[in-house]
Structure 1
Amino acid sequence: MANNTGKKKPLINCHAHIFTGDYVPPLLGKGILPPLISWVAHLKVFIWVMRYIVMPIRWPDPNRGTVVDKITYQIKQLRKWLYDKYTFFPIVPRIAEVIQFMLVLPTLFIVLCWFDKKLRLGDYPKLQSVNGFLELLETVTLNLLPELLHQIIFILIVLFFLKVTRNLAYSILRKIVKLPGKFNRALFVRYLQMAEFAKYKNQFDILDRLKDQYPTGTQFVVLPMDMKFMKAGGLVARPKEYKNELKDLRGGDVEGYGPYSKNRLLLNKQNYLLQMEKLRDLKETRGDEIHPFVFLHPQRLRQDQKNTANNPKQLKPYFDFNITEEGKVELKDCWLKRYLEPEDSKLKFSGFKIYPALGYYPFDIELLPLWKYAVDHKIPIMTHCTTGTIFYRGWKKRSWNRHPVYYMGNSATKKLRLSATRSRNYQRYFTHPLNFLCLLHPELFQQLLNNYHVDKNVTQEQKQNLIKLFGEPWATEGLKNNLSELKICFGHYGGLAEWKKYLVADRNPHSNQLFKRPAFGSALAHKVDSSELSWYNARAAWEEMDWYTMITSLMLQYPNVYADISYMLHDESIFPLLKQTLGHNRGEVKTTPPHLSHVKLDLPKHPLGSRILYGTDFYMVRSHKTEKDLLGQTQALLSEEEFDLIARSNPKSYLNIS
C-alpha cells in the first residue's frame, strides 16, 4: 500500500479501540443468555479455550508468548524437521495422516455419545459395510476412556496437538453464529473478537497490528472503555500488560506515588486508571500517531466523590474542580488534569468518550461541569450511538420509566413514558440522539437545569455549582452560559439498522424532512418555523423518527456536531447514501429558523459533508472485514475528494489540529 505522498494531510482513523481483554468484564452474556448459561459462558473461560485449544498462537520467535506458545512452537519445529528429513519416504506423511484420522474418529464418537448415551454405531444399517471396524472403535474407546474426565482430557489433548481437529471445532463454533436471535449472534461474534485479541497482552501490540494495515504516517483516535459499572462481573486488579509489578507513575516523580506508597497499592486495584496510564505511555512513545480520549462515566465520578469524602488521604480524585468568577471550570489536582493539562503538552489527551448504553444519560448532572470545560477548551466528545452487546447488565431502575426532560404532550403534565422492561432494551433510550438536544438547545437545557434545581436528590453544592456555571435556571432572560457550541461526534452515525430504516421509510413523514427542508432538516422538538417548543413533536420524533434523519438534522442545525461511519462501513450498501450525504445541498436559504437564533451558523462554512468522519471501530469490526479491506473498499467506493474530506480534512477540524 502506498504511503501518504505529496502535500496531503495525514489519514486519520477517528474511531479505534486497542484495550485488551483484561479491561472487559467476564459476564457479557448476562442479560442476553439465560441466567445459568450466562454464568457458564464466562468470557475468560471462552478466551482460554479459544486461545490455547481451538486456535493456539504459533509465534515465529520461540522466546515470545506463554509456555503453551513455546511448546506449540517446538512441536511445529520438530514436525518440520521430521518432514524435511524423511520426505524421500512418501509413506511417512501417509502414516501420519492415518494416525490423525484414527484419533479424530474416537473424538467425534465421544462427543456424539455425550448427546446420545445409547448411541451404538453398529445399529445403523447404512454402516454395515464397516460394522466390524465401528464395533472395534466403540469397544476400544469405551474401554480405554470409560470416565467423563478421561474423555475430556483426551479431547483436549487431541485438540491441542491436531490442527485438523481444531479447524473442525472452530468451523462448528462459527456455525453457532447462525442461531436465531440477533443479540445471541452479536454476542458470540463479540466473544470471538475478544478471543482473537486475547493473544495480545498489551495495548502496544494491538496498536501495531492496527497501524501495520495503513499507510505510514496514519494517525488514530484511540477510545478507551470503563466497564466497571456495567454489572457484568468484576475486572482483574492487575492487567497482564503490567506483568509482575505495577509501573510507577512517571518513575515516582508524582508526590504520594512512590514504590511502597499506599496510593500506589490503591492504584493497583483501579483497572480503568491502569488502562489510561498505558495510553499515556503510548502517547509518550508514539506522539502524534495516536490521539487518546478520556472515558467518562458518572458513576465513577459519584463514587470518586464519596471515597474522597470518607478518606481524603487515599488515591487522588478522578475529577476535581473550582469554578472561576467568569463561570469557567478550573481543574484541581486530579487524574483528568493529568491527562488534559499535563506539564508536557505532547502528552495531552485529545477528547472525551462516553458510552450512554452503560446506564446513564449524556446530560447526567455529574457530566455538566465537564461539558462546560469542553466548550471553553473546544474539546471534542465522542459518544457511542447505536445499539449492541455492550450495555448496562444490572436491574432496571424505577426512575427509568420516564424521560427526565421530554413530556408526553403539549400539556406538559406527564414526562415521556419509556416502556422497555429489560436493561438491554433501555440502552436505546440512553443512547438516543435526541438526548443531546437537551444539551445543545438553550431552552431545553434551561428546562433540564430547572429539573435538577427542584430535584431532592441533588445536593445544595451541586445546585450552586450549576448556577455559577450557567446562571439561574428560573431567569426569564435565559441562561448566562449554555452548551450550544458543544463539539459532539455521534459514533457509528446511528448504526446500520437506522440507515436502512431511513431508506425503506418512504411513507414516514419524519424520514422525508431532509428532502422537504434540506437547509436544516427536521425541527425535532420545535414547531416548524417557530421558536416555540412542541412536546408533541418531540415525542413523535423520539418514537418514530429514524436516527439517520435525527443526527443529520442536528448536524445541519449545529456547526459543531459530527458523525463517524465506524463499524457500519463494512456494509457496501451504505455508500450510495453516504455519497448523497457528503454532497448534501442545503438549497437556497433566506432566513434561519427562529428556534436556531442562538446558533452561530455560517452556512457556506458549515456544509453537512464537512462533519462526517472516517472511522472503522477496530477491532470490533474485524468479524466482518480487516482494516486494509475496509480502507481499500472505502477508497474504491468514494471519490478521492470524498475520501480525503472524511479521512484527512474533517478529522483535523474535529481534533483541533492546525
Structure 2
Amino acid sequence: MSTNEQPNLEYKIHNIHCHIFTIKYLPKKFIGWYFPTTLVKKKWVANLLMRLVKKLAPRIAGFVYSAFKKDQKDIFNELRGYYPENTKFCPLTVDFDYMNAGKAQYNFLQQLEDVADLKRYYENKNFDVFLPFICVDPRRDGILELVKKYIEEEKFTGIKLYPALGFFPDDYRLDEVYAYAEANHIPITTHCIPKNKNHFRYKPTKEMVNKAKERFSEFYDTKDSRSSYDFAKYLNHPKNYEYILKKFPKLKINLAHFGGNEEWDKYLDVSDENFKKDRNWYSIIRKMMLTYDNVYADISFTVYDARLYPVLRNVLKTPKAKERVLFGSDFYMLQKDYSERRFGMDVRGYIDDDEFWLMAETNPKRFLFNE
C-alpha cells in the first residue's frame, strides 16, 4: 500500500503472535532434568514453582502459567477477554518433538489436531477470530504433506518456524515448504531473538558449528559451541533469511520479536564503531524491511519494556519500514512481566491512532491475506 493511500479500516485488532499450548505439550525435561513438567500438573506444585521462577528464572514463568489451564481453549478464551470481541489472533503452534528434552504428554501431531478442533469450534460459533499457524521442522518426515493438510484442509493461516529448536532456517529440507508458501502467498512467522529458554538440548553438531563459523565469521565465538543455549543465536540470526530470500524472493516472512529487547537496548546504548550496523539485530531487521517488500517484524514481548517505546515510535515514522511493523504480544509469555491488557493499552497509549491501526490492522492484513 502506498503511503498516500488511506486504508479502509474495520477497526479490528490483529494479534499476530500468541501461544495457547498448555504444559501438557511441553517435553518432560523442558524446565530441566531436575524438575520434570509432569510434576507441575499438581496445583500446589505449580503455585510454588511460579513463585520461585518469578524470582529465580522469570524466562520460564509463562510456561508455568500454562500449567494452571485445563486446555488450549481455556487459554485462548482468557486471551480473547483482554481484547475487543472482534479481535483476530494468530496462535502459533510449536513442534517440541526434536529438541531432545524428553517426551511430552501430548506430541506435536496431537497439538495440531487439538488446534484444528478449536478452529472448527469457533467457526461453528461464527467467530472468525482464530487464525492458527503450523510449525515446521526440517527433521520431520513428510513435512510438506503435513503443511498442505493443515493449510488446505484445516484452513490454518500460516507457517511457524522455531530454529532455536535445532536447525538453520535455510535447511534444504524446507525448500519445498518455502516454494509452496511463496506460490500460495502463505505468511511465515519465525522466532528472531538471540536467546531464550526454548532451545535444543544437545551439544551443537560439527556440521552446525562449521556452518555458523563460516556464515558468522566476523563475530563467531568458539565458546558458543559448548552450549546449546549460547549457540541458538546463530540459528535465530536474521541474516539466515537473506539466503532464503535469494531463492524465494516473494516469500512473506515476519521476523518475530524484531530482534528482542536486548538488541533494542544495544541499538540505543552501544556505539556503531566504524558504522558496522550489521552487528545489531534491530538494525539488521530494519534494513531488511527497507530492502524487501515482504519482510515484516512483530513487536511481541520486546516492547513490554516502556523504555523502548521511542524506538518503536521511530520505526513507525520511517517510510516503508512503518508498513512492515506488526502488532503481537507473545501471550502467554508476557504474563511473567505484566498482564496482556496492560501491554496492549500501554503500547496504544504511547503511539497515535494512525500508527496503532497501521500496526494492528493495515499491515497484518497485508501480511496474512492474499491481495
**TM-score scaled to structure 1, two decimals?**
0.52
Tell me which residue corresponds to 2:118.
282
2:140 is the counterpart of 1:406: no
Q: Is the 8 A contact 1:402 1:418 kept in 2?
A: no
The yes-or-no answer on 1:548 pairing with 2:359 is no
Say which SS state the counterpart of residue 89 (structure 2) adopts.
Answer: strand
Query: In the alignment, what sits opposite 1:433?
Result: 238
Following superposition of structure 1 onto structure 2, how do residues 21-40 of structure 1 map, counting pairs within 5 Å?
A: 21-29=23-31, 38-40=32-34
**Aligned pair in 2 of structure 1 residues 584, 294: CA closer, same or farther (>3 Å)?**
same
Partner Cα separation in structure 2 for residue 233 and residue 378 of structure 1: 35
* Structure 1 residue 178, shift from structure 2 partner: 4.4
Return the offset for 1:559. Answer: 0.4
Question: Which of the residues 45, 48, 57 maps onto 2:41?
Answer: 48
- CA RMSD, 1 decimal: 2.2
Residues 245 and 251 of structure 2 are in contact (CA less than 8 Å); yes or no, is this contact kept in structure 1? yes
1:272 aligned to 2:108? yes
Which residues of structure 1 form unaligned runs of 5+? Answer: 1-5, 30-37, 56-168, 180-184, 240-270, 305-316, 320-333, 410-415, 442-481, 514-540, 586-606
* 1:60-459 matches, cutoff 5 A: 174=51, 177-179=54-56, 185-186=57-58, 189-190=59-60, 192-236=61-105, 239=106, 271-287=107-123, 288-300=128-140, 304=141, 317-319=142-144, 334-342=145-153, 347-386=154-193, 387-403=195-211, 406=215, 408=217, 419=222, 420=224, 421-441=226-246
CA gap of 1:232–1:434, structure 2 versus 1, over 3 A, is: same
Counterpart of 1:17 in structure 2: which amino acid?
Answer: H
Do the aligned partners of residues 508 and 286 (structure 1) sit closer, same or farther apart at CA in structure 2, a change above 3 Å counting? Answer: farther
Deviation at 1:200, TM superposition (A): 2.0
How far apart, in 2, do the equivalents of 1:621 and 1:407 lie?
31
**Aligned mates of 2:330, 2:53 — CA distance in 1:** 24
**Alpha-carbon offset, residue 400 of structure 1:** 2.2
Q: Distance in 2 between matches of 1:408 and 1:569?
A: 30
Flag structure 2 segments of 5+ consecutive residues without an equivalent: 1-7
Q: Letter of the aligned partner of 1:493 in structure 2?
A: F
Q: What percentage of residue pairs aligned between the two structures are identical?
A: 32
Cα distance 1:507–1:395, how it changes in 2: closer, same or farther (>3 A)? closer
1:7 positional shift: 5.6
Tell me which of 290, 294, 303 is aligned to 1:560.
294
* Aligned residue type for 2:282: Y
Cα deviation, 1:80-120, whole Å, max 9, x if unaligned, reads xxxxxxxxxxxxxxxxxxxxxxxxxxxxxxxxxxxxxxxxx
The aligned length equals 356
Quote the Cα distance in structure 2 between the aligned partners of 1:637 and 1:500. 18
The residue number in structure 1 matching 2:5 is none
Residue 648 to residue 407, structure 1, CA distance change in 2 (3 Å) = closer
SS in 1 for 2:293: coil
Correspondence for 2:250: 485
**8 Å Cα contact 1:492/1:563 also seen in 2:** yes
Mapped partners of 1:551, 1:418: distance in 2: 22
The 2-side partners of 1:408 and 1:209 are apart by: 45
SS at match of 1:403: helix
What is the match of residue 311 of structure 2? 577
Determine the structure 1 residue equivalent to 2:15. Answer: 13
Contact 2:46–2:64 (8 Å) recurs in 1: no
Q: Deviations over 1:211-249 (max 9, x none)?
A: 01101100001100110110111112xx4xxxxxxxxxx
Question: In the alignment, is residue 633 of structure 1 matched against residue 346 of structure 2?
Answer: yes
Cα distance 1:498–1:408, how it changes in 2: closer, same or farther (>3 A)? closer
Q: State how far apart, in whole Å, the 2-side matches of 1:626 and 1:174 are.
A: 16
Compared CA separation, residues 657 and 643, structure 1 to 2 (3 A) = farther
Q: Map Cα deviations across residues 283-322 of structure 1 (whole Å, 9 max, x no partner).
A: 222232111111100111xxx2xxxxxxxxxxxx443xxx
CA separation of 1:365 and 1:580: change in aligned 2, threshold 3 A: same
- Partner Cα separation in structure 2 for residue 584 and residue 494 of structure 1: 18
Contact map agreement 1:401 1:417 (CA 8 A) in 2: no
Counterpart amino acid of residue 215 in structure 1: P
Q: What's the secondary structure of 2:349's corresponding residue?
A: helix
The Cα shift of 1:338 comes to 2.0
Cα separation, partners in 2 of 1:579 and 1:427, compared to 1, 3 Å: same
Q: Distance in 1 between matches of 2:168 and 2:46?
A: 40
What displacement does 1:348 show? 1.2
Give distance in 2, aligned partners of 1:381 and 1:392: 21
C-alpha change, 1:485 and 1:318, in structure 2 (3 Å) is closer
Q: Return closer, same or farther for 1:569/1:408 CA change in 2, 3 Å cut-off.
A: closer
Which fold has the larger relative contact order, with Cα–Cα distance below 8 Å and residues 6 or more apart in sequence? 2
Provide the secondary structure at the position in 2 that maps to 1:562.
strand
